[in-house]
Amino acid sequence: MRGFFLSAASIFCLFTLMVSPASAESITKAQKPDPDMALAILKEGNVRFVSGKATHPHTGAERLAQAGKESQADHAYATVISCSDSRVPVELLFDAGIMDIFVVRVAGNVMDVDEAGSIEYGLVHVNTPVLVVLGHSQCGAVTAVTQVVQGKGHALERNIPPLVKNIEPAVRRAMAAHKDVGGDAIIPYAIEENVWQAMEGLFMMSPVSRNLVKEGKVKVIGAMYDVGTGKVDWLPESKSQEILKKVESSPDRAMNPMAQDH
């Protein structure tokens, strides 16, 4: 019968988890959140940001002193890949502070080797339990690629085309799925497809990321940020699982999770 009883301490801890709101302030070195709790912390932070009730946690002298002495791996609860756009201030829009979020920023939130490597570092070495692939409204990189695909592009500086080449498949998928939508009206659809494109690229390149998700240690979530309202809309987690399943059946996926000696 003893297996049916909880100690008073256990009951107290369970009750605390049930009634206490998710908060970055509650994270300690001894207890990193699980993927669901980390996602809840991000969601509640964005709600505070949008409602004008941001608390700006972990931005004072005490946190700076911690950062100078402690590892970010003891504190960070999320990895986020987002666009470099100045309208997408990642820590602010999630009402987060120093050592809270491991951020990867690149124009168009594209996924290539550097971005995948940075994310692997965030998931494995910073030990974050959730990855958010964050697209945003009015994305200039996706807009530029869409216009090129539609034959309305203009000359680009030499290093930009290689940067945004991974966006083109997303634009073409959006156009194929919404044949009745033309011109710039297709851009919002392409922006969302670009989130899924980045996620698929990560899973193709990163066996360790796939393994962490399959083991339940990490969640990979797509999201869209509205630059005019500050609100994050969370995309279906089921789509992330569909993409992972698709990649797992691809013969072209990377298989060895570790770097090879050269």
In the predicted model, what is the mean pLDDT of residues 119-124? 98
Q: What is the pTM of this model?
A: 0.89
For 63-89, write each residue's pLDDT tens digit. Answer: 999 999 999 999 999 999 999 999 999
Q: Which stretch of 100-104, 119-123, 220-224, 258-262 has the lowest confidence by average pLDDT?
A: 258-262
pLDDT for the residue numbered 17: 40
**Mean pLDDT for the chain overall:** 91
What is the residue-wise DSSP string for 101-117?
Answer: EEEEE-GGG---HHHHH
Name the helix (H) or strand (E) containing 212.
Answer: helix 207-214
According to the model, what pLDDT value does residue 155 have? 87
pLDDT of residue 260: 81
What are the residues whose beta carbons fall under 8 Å from the beta carbon of 224, sequence distance 6 or more? 134, 135, 136, 137, 191, 192, 195, 232, 233, 235
Predicted confidence (pLDDT) per residue in 1-45, tens digit? 334 334 443 333 433 344 345 667 666 655 899 999 999 999 999
Average pLDDT value for residue range 103-109: 98
Q: Tell me, which fold does domain 42-141+188-248 have in CATH?
A: Beta-carbonic Anhydrase; Chain A (3.40.1050)
Q: What is the pLDDT of residues 200-234, one digit of tens each?
A: 999 999 999 999 999 999 999 999 999 999 999 99
User: pLDDT digits over 161-199, tens only?
Assistant: 999 999 999 999 999 999 999 999 999 999 999 999 999
CA distances from 262 to 88, 183, 259 (A): 39, 48, 9
pLDDT at 194: 98
Under 8 Å CB-to-CB from 166, ≥6 apart: which residues? 108, 110, 111, 112, 197, 198, 201
Residue 154 pLDDT level (bands cut at 50, 70, 90): confident
Judge whether residue 249 has pLDDT over 50.
Answer: yes
| Polymer length of the chain | 262
Contact 122, 100 (CB under 8 A): no
Which tokens sit at 154?
Answer: 């203009």
